[in-house]
Amino acid sequence: MKKLYFFLTLSLGCLSTMLAQVTVKGTVVSNADGLPISGAAVTIKGKTTTGTATDFDGNFTLQLKEENGVLVISSLGFASKEVAYNGNQTIAVSLDEATNSLDEVVLIGYGSTKKGDLTSAIGTAANVGTITSRPVGNYKEFLQGNIAGVTVLSSGGDPTSTASIKIRGIGTLNSESPLVVVDGLPYSGPEINPNDIASISVLKDAASAAIYGAQAASGVIVIETKKGKTGKPRLNVNYYTGIKTASNLPTPLTAQQQSEVYNLAADNAGVPRQSAHDAAQNPYGQVNRTNWIDAIFRDATVNNLNVDLSGAGEKYNYYTSFAFRDREGVLEGTSSQNYSLRLKSDFNITNKITVGENIYFSRDEAYGTNTDNPYSGTIINAIYMPSASPTRYEDGSFAGVVPENLSQFAGAYGDVYNPLALLLRPTKESPKTFINANVYFKYDLLDGLAFKSSYSYSYRDNKTKEFYPRVPELGRSNSQNSLLQTNTTQNKWIWDNQLSYNKSFGNHNLNATAIYSAQKTKGDYIYLRGTGFSSEEPFNQYMQNAELLNKPSNNPFEEALTSAIGRVMYNYNNKYYISGSIRTDESSRLAVENQSDTFTSVSAGWRISNESFFNIDAINDLKFRASWGEIGNIQSISGYYPFDVPVASSNVVMGENGAYFDNVGSYVQRNANRNLKWETAESLDFGLDASLFNNSLSLTVDYFEKTTKGMIIPGLADINQGISPADVNGGQVKNTGLEVSATYTNTNGALNYSINANATTIKNELENLDGYASIGQDVFYHTDNVRSVLVPYQTQVGGALYTPYLIPQLGIFNTQAEIDAYTKDGNLIQPNARPGDFKFQDTNNDGKIGSEDRKYYDAYQPKVTYNLGANLDYKGFDFNVILQGVAGVKAFNGYKFTTYNGALSGYNLDNRVLDAWSPTNTDTDIPIISTKDDNKNFGTASSWYLEDASYLRIKNVTLGYTFNNKVMDKLSKGSSLRMYVSGENLVTFTKYTGLDPEVGGKGLDIAKYPVAKTFTLGLLLSL
């Protein structure tokens, strides 16, 4: 019996020993900067079938049978490293960097992977670390020109506006903007603190973005914020200060020139001169008192402070930052002020459980001005305002076109606003508060299998309060004062539950992800307006003191989106790759029968350089890839209207003595369409990634086609109903393009340098307007205009969206003989023309000039966008330069309609009219100055307004110096200090005659707020 007991005990002991496992955990970081390395392979030496890969934070866990052994840690972007282990333990591994760019880890939807393993089109922002050295207010400014296929359209220099981003062209006439994902969850708040950003990836094709479904038709921008590094806590201080200045500003006529020009214009028109421009009758109008452009523009200051504290240990990681940005606008009275706070941490509760939180708070207060309106735009009124007027009178009040005692001359100068009063007179408050809080729980279920639950809650509260006093001065007077108040609130939650499996089986590598996501948004917009305030002092600027309170209005909104998502990525022996995803979305924005839709994608890759037959010394790595996918555009659907009859209300006057505010009536505003569906974007992509010449040159090339199907357009009106038609899915748009990116990196002794460049060409085409097929209409009419006179855009099937549709201008008639010779069947084609007038093309050959003579021109969508950058590092000095530009782009310079035109209301003009045509000045493109426009030189939407807006801009130049480590160690062990000077938007090479060729939008320019040059001096201190 004892022998049997002994035998059983021995057998169980042996069995337990055989089944016992050793747990080895660790973190893999880069030796260069201490950042975690994601996707690094961790295997047992001699047993490549046993292993795992590090997660995004560089962490790994291995369950091993052997008590002792050697781990091999490798990542193609780094030199491999062997580390011995002995029993259960946690190890820290640092890898030296290699130079092959295909080993770079990039962010993808719900995860990350090495660039060399990608089978879809994903771009990464180069040199994202330099964002702290440039005076950029947000990541959009940094992205401009940084990634091929990503077009950043600046909205000018207004502190209240931000740039728009188009990924691979304009795909719709409706709202479209990329989905922004921050730290793994969709983000809908203000632009985050750029100093917090660790990396930026852009998902450009449907195969990469399809996992985000109906939110991702316009692409996805994936941002990862910084984390703490292992070692002692680090305190970083980044501060810069600088000056912004506007350049290439127009010059208005002086007082004397204005009188001379209008007297000449009257003579050319054959009408009497106005008394206001007679020096004997109005000597006041001959004295030059103000250059109004100089009066409204200024040199503006910029101050930015960012402080962050971070650190990491074996079981925790934390990062916290505080930022304060104070920026004046180059226009008087415009500014923006922002402060933000981020608290971010991760904790390993056990070997299997990790939790974390990420809280971001932002507070903004920005004041801008209207520069797009051809009547009340600030800059254009600085041209309109007579130079004879001072900015203010002696009593401190704002000046009008003339003083009250000369009111008989006021009409000669037009209905002009004092532009400085437009900037400084209103009292404005616009606080915007935003908070976003994310928490997550992660549990490692089995080797390679993990569950993660993430929850995000955000709250937005935007308020405005604007008091507009009376405008008593002559010009565009207004005896009514008013107070406007708005309040927008929004709360949103997102809950994602993700199951991930990442495992290698010999040469088979599998990554699978399954997600269920739900989100809900709820908010309200409230609008109040009151007029008739007895006192304009600050104490009285409250709604209860209004004599008349307009009916308040509000716009509550609520929507929900649920999604089920699956993705599988597989590769065999790092040679053959295939990936597929499927996502089903259900949105409350649509009628029940159309609320749900499914989006799929598939992609494949072949790493030919890993084949045994491939032996080209110059090519270190080469991969071909192809992808197809489809995604939706939920942004194209707004509000409840598709599945409900939109009822509107309005004040109505009833009875003979009825007052406007006595009664409110309701009416059907427009038809509904329960069959409306979201737009769908389908994309096809063929690309290659290569690393050449000992990994010194990396190259990426992509050809793509992106088609928007079911584009939403206004339907056809029923003339029997008298109400607006419902929207329908009635159009299709296609973007076709080629992207090329290259980076060359090398060293020469102590000099390290890199050169990067990218270029993109895109063709945009409206393929059909099936929604109008029943009436044979193949054009879409746009309403964008200049003073309701010039309507320059129309889109035709086969052409680009927002195509200029204009009458060709052939030049200027220099003689009466030229006019007489321009005939059709013996009749003058332009009977109202005279020498100095424009000659227009009779395109349809009907003998007259009319709207039928219009033809299509190139749209404001660059044929080519390009970027060139260089980075040099030599013995502590660093130098960076970025050149950015566009080619083959046309802008409609509507600024010329009022500022070159003497036939309007008597406004002052741009001094370039001094070069207008005259019998002695025929070498010009500006027509004769006249108070009559019988030939419609200015009233014709012609190609004269269309200008080449191509440009090359020296976007940034930065020179820095990092102090020697030995010097800094005397201050604090391990500390560092870098000082730098930087210039932004330094020089622009262009033929465009407007303020700035970077017009933005559709290319319609009416003196937009210009992008300013910025010069800064800064330091980065790390302790």
Residue 257 DSSP class? H
For 690, the token pair is 């290569």
> How far is Cα 405 from Cα 216, in angstroms, rounded to an integer?
62
Give the mean model confidence (pLDDT) for residues 53-57. Answer: 72
- Strand 827-828 and strand 823-824: the pairing is antiparallel
Domain span(s) for CATH 2.60.40.1120 in the chain: 22-95
Q: Which of 30-44, 146-160, 337-351 has the highest mean pLDDT?
A: 337-351
Q: Which pair of structure tokens corresponds to residue 466?
A: 């604007």
* pLDDT grade for 662, boundaries at 50, 70 and 90: low
- Number of continuous H segments (helices) and E segments (strands) in the chain: 10, 54
Q: Residue 720, Cβ neighbours under 10 Å: how many?
A: 5
Tokens (6 digits) for 752 = 């390290």
Length of the chain: 1023
C-alpha triplet 915, 917, 921: angle, nearest 5°: 75
CB atoms within 10 A of CB 479: 7
pLDDT bucket at 640, cuts 50 / 70 / 90:
low
pLDDT band at 994 (very low <50, low <70, confident <90, very high): very high
Closest by CA to 839, choosing from 852, 830, 848, 851, is 830
Res. 32 pLDDT band, cuts 50 70 90: low
88-110 pLDDT, tens digit each: 888 888 886 655 555 667 778 78
8 A C-beta contact, residue 210 and residue 204: no
H helix runs in 513-670, sequence order:
none
Give the pLDDT score at 659.
Answer: 65
pLDDT tier for residue 308 given thresholds of 50, 70 and 90? very high
What is residue 319's predicted lDDT score, i.e. its pLDDT? 95
Report, in angstroms and rounded to the nearest whole number, the Rg of the chain calculated over CA atoms: 33
Look at 665 and 862; give whichever has higher pLDDT: 862
Identify the residue whose tokens are 């598939």: 602
Pairwise CA distance, residues 895 & 1004, whole Å: 9
d(CA 594, CA 68): 60
CA dihedral 131, 133, 138, 141 (to 10 degrees): -80
Distances (CA, A) of 997 to 207, 659, 699, 757: 34, 49, 30, 22
Give me 967's structure tokens: 């010097």
Q: How far is CA 447 from the centre of its chain?
A: 41
Residue 215: CB atoms within 10 Å: 24
Examine the pLDDT at 238 and tell me if it is beyond 60: yes
Burial of 9 (0-12, 13-18, 19+ CB in 10 A): exposed
Q: What per-residue confidence (pLDDT) applies to 13?
A: 41
Buried b (16+ CB within 10 A) or exposed e, 976-988: bbbebbbbbbbeb
CA neighbor of 528 nearest in space, from 508, 510, 553: 553
Least confident of 327-341, 419-433, 530-544, 667-681: 667-681
Distances (CA, A) of 262 to 276, 279, 417, 834, 895: 10, 13, 20, 18, 19
- Quote the CA–CA distance of 774 and 461 in Å, as a whole number: 46
What is the rounded distance in angstroms from the CA atom of residue 113 to the CA atom of residue 924? 59
What is the average pLDDT score of the chain? 89
pTM over 0.75: yes
Q: What tokens were used for 262? A: 């209008």
* Predicted confidence band of residue 646 (pLDDT cuts 50, 70, 90): low
Burial class of residue 270 in the structure, from the number of CB atoms within 10 Å of its CB (0-12 exposed, 13-18 middle, 19+ buried):
exposed
Which range is least confidently modeled, 43-47, 263-267, 868-872?
43-47
pLDDT over 90, % of the chain: 62
pLDDT (0 to 100) of residue 645: 67
Q: Across residues 717-737, what is the average pLDDT?
A: 86
The CATH topology of domain 22-95 is: Immunoglobulin-like (2.60.40)
Average confidence (pLDDT) over 532-539 = 95
Tokens found for residue 797: 């099937």
